[in-house]
Chains A and B, each alone.
Chain A
Amino acid sequence: MSPDGFAVTATDLVKVYGTGDSAVRALDGVTVGFRRGRFTAIMGPSGSGKSTLMHCLAGLDAVTSGRITIGGTDLTRLRDRQLTALRRDRVGFVFQAFNLLPQLTARQNITLPSEMAGRRVDADHLAHIVDVLGIGDRLGHRPAELSGGQQQRVALARALATRPEVIFADEPTGNLDSRSGAEVLGLLRDCVRGLGQTVVMVTHDPSAAAYADRALVLADGRIVHDLDGPTRATVTEALGLAGVR
């Protein structure tokens, strides 16, 4: 628990891919904090560094310089094994392509991170999540037997099951039709409002960003706009400014 109410902080993040002339600065001095119990959208055109930012914040990728904390723990000082344990215990993921293991049932997919940690899942907590997400009658099915919206809700349940410090969602509606997408976004917002969950979502869709409490706009590896209470209109305008820069 960090004392200042931030679930995740990043200070002077720099991420450089490659070396010499071919080096690309994907992140160029990003400093940002994500308050606990808030829903933040990270936006930006392709190549702006929004996915890189998310991967670095989640401890999936190493930064070139800078400092990241999750719940007060400095990620940049952790060894691979500790970083893995941190991802498993304190970070939840929701991906664009759902990324459920096809050979496991929905229930097994949800409990996978806990099982890898060698822990039993809190049955009451699991029942509550499953109830909120409305997938109680789908737990015995394999991913191939579920619709896209149902698969993403299973993935969301998996992210919520370990009560993580923060959930990172990478284009969670990218593979869904607009109705299922709206449902999933509504559920994400409910997790923030109802369960006090912290959610950071990467998206390029302004109407998805409108579900968030805050929207960051990235361009060329820097944060160029920071919008509170974003709407489709304000986000589109900010993106437009970022695009013509």
Chain B
Amino acid sequence: MPPADVARVGAAGLVTRPLRAVLAAAGIAIGVAAMVAVVGISASSRAGVERELAAIGTNLLTAAPGRTFTGEAARLPDEAVEMAGRLDGVTGASATGRLDLGVYRSDLIPAGETNGIGVLAVRPDLLGPVGARPADGAWLNEVTRQGPALVLGAEAARLLGVHRASADVRLWLGNQWFVVVGVLAPAPLAPELDTAVLVGWEAARSLLGFDGGIGTVYVRTDPDRVADVRALLARTVSPAHPNEVLVERPSDALLAQEVTDRALTGLLLGLGAVALLVGGVGVANTMIVSVLERRAEVGLRRALGATRAQIRTQFLAESLLLSALGGTAGILTGAVVTWGYAWSRGWPPAVPGWAQAAGLAVTVLIGGIAGLYPAVRAARLPPTEALAAP
């Protein structure tokens, strides 16, 4: 039979029982949709991270004091930032220092209930290298960085319930009131800033007893020279004890997180495969019922001269058509789910072509396997017995 006729004959069986066909196809569709959506969402998430990295850059390095040989906390030289800034290939350098203090909404809150919000003393030129910007209010200026004023990290602002910078908003810090002059937008490459309140370096020294110890040096480099700078950074910021310096590239952490997400993706794909398998069993079941119901038709076709191969082809075509129908619906559903989820997370939607092709291929494979046994069984029906069926 020509392929068009095979498809027509196969479709005829489906059209006569549309509800059953739709339900059987739905099983396949759910499995394929799950798999396509998992791959699509994972790809979209990756595309989102890549786009974010492209926007914020991967050329930020940090240098932090580690531990000395004797296990004590190391201390970077006070001129570490200036030395890092003079390094070839570095376009900007700044630093923060950690204060062992808590910040509170009011002086009535017991000490210790800090919500995990840290206090950082910051150099005035911090925003450029870390790629941060104020979402509201302003950054510390000539005046505010010397007085009782602070800027909130994005997450710290949320935890403290401060949404706008204002002269009326004051926080209790180190036994005095500080005015909130600004709130930062999230800084993906320096998440430690998000959960901190930032005060000027001079104010920290004069008002909060800060010892001037550098906590983290932030270095922004020429994008092509990240590796060169990274190799030299430890020796530059601490020529005497380069082994006590921890150098990191924060964008690596974002990528690493993406890699751990991939393990979860594998698990979800497995679940999708199970759903697909169950869908395949549903198709096989539907086909067996269809063969049983159509024994008279099979017998008639055999009596009128249909060969066993033609009967096999007919039911195999029906099964393939059924699962291809489900597969197509599943790919569309998966793409729509991916699109919706990516849209809600602000990622660029991406459904890889290979996932769609694989979805369809798996579908056809399942349709073939599920249809094989019923088709062979139909072809083996003796014409007389099949004709006798009501």
Stretch from B171-179, B247-255, B304-312 at the A interface: B304-312
Q: Tell me which residues across on chain B come within 8 A of A233, comparing CB atoms.
A: none
28 inter-chain pairs at a CB distance below 8 angstroms, sorted by A residue, are: A58-B303, A60-B382, A60-B384, A60-B387, A61-B382, A61-B383, A80-B308, A81-B308, A84-B302, A84-B305, A84-B306, A85-B305, A85-B307, A87-B305, A88-B306, A89-B305, A95-B300, A99-B296, A99-B300, A101-B297, A101-B301, A103-B15, A104-B12, A112-B304, A116-B301, A116-B305, A116-B310, A117-B305
A54 to B, closest residue via Cβ = B384
Q: Tell me which residues across on chain A come within 8 A of B15, comparing CB atoms.
A: 103
Point out residues on A near B: beta carbons under 8 Å.
Answer: 55, 58, 60-61, 80-81, 84-85, 87-89, 93, 95, 97, 99, 101-104, 112-113, 115-118, 158
A84 to B, closest residue via Cβ = B307
Known: A101-B297, A102-B16. A81 touches B383 (CB 8 A): no
Which secondary structure dominates where chain B touches chain A? helix
Contact A60 B383 (CB under 8 A): yes
Q: Tell me which residues across on chain B come within 8 A of A102, comparing CB atoms.
A: 16
Contacts beyond the supplied A99-B296, A102-B16: 9 A-B pairs with Cβ under 8 Å = A60-B302, A60-B387, A61-B382, A85-B305, A85-B307, A95-B387, A116-B305, A116-B310, A158-B304
CA A103 to CA B15, docked complex, whole Å:
9
B307 to A, closest residue via Cβ = A84
- Of residues 343 through 360 on chain B, the ones whose CB sits less than 8 Å from some CB of chain A are none
Q: Mark B379-390, 1 if CB is under 8 A from A, else 0.
A: 000111001000
Q: Tell me which residues across on chain A come within 8 A of B382, comparing CB atoms.
A: 60-61
CA A55 to CA B383, docked complex, whole Å:
9
Q: Tell me which residues across on chain B come within 8 A of A117, comparing CB atoms.
A: 305
Shortest 9 CB-CB contacts between residues of A and residues of B = A88-B305, A103-B12, A60-B383, A113-B304, A99-B300, A61-B384, A55-B384, A84-B307, A60-B384
CA A53 to CA B303, docked complex, whole Å:
15
CA A60 to CA B388, docked complex, whole Å:
12
Give the number of residues in B that approach A within 8 Å (Cβ atoms): 21
Contact B16 A87 (CB under 8 A): no
Contact A88 B304 (CB under 8 A): yes
User: B367 → chain A, closest Cβ, in Å?
Assistant: 21
Contact A99 B305 (CB under 8 A): no
User: A115 → chain B, closest Cβ, in Å?
Assistant: 8
- Most chain B CB neighbours (cut-off 10 Å) among A60, A87, A113: A60
CA A89 to CA B307, docked complex, whole Å:
12
Q: Tell me which residues across on chain B come within 8 A of A93, comparing CB atoms.
A: 303-304
Q: Mark B314-355, 1 if CB is under 8 A from A, else 0.
A: 000000000000000000000000000000000000000000
User: A69 → chain B, closest Cβ, in Å?
Assistant: 19
Q: Tell me which residues across on chain A come within 8 A of B12, comparing CB atoms.
A: 103-104
User: B298 → chain A, closest Cβ, in Å?
Assistant: 11
CA A84 to CA B379, docked complex, whole Å:
12
A55 to B, closest residue via Cβ = B384
Contact A84 B308 (CB under 8 A): yes
CA A185 to CA B261, docked complex, whole Å:
77
B16 to A, closest residue via Cβ = A103
CA A80 to CA B307, docked complex, whole Å:
8
User: B389 → chain A, closest Cβ, in Å?
Assistant: 11
CA A23 to CA B383, docked complex, whole Å:
21
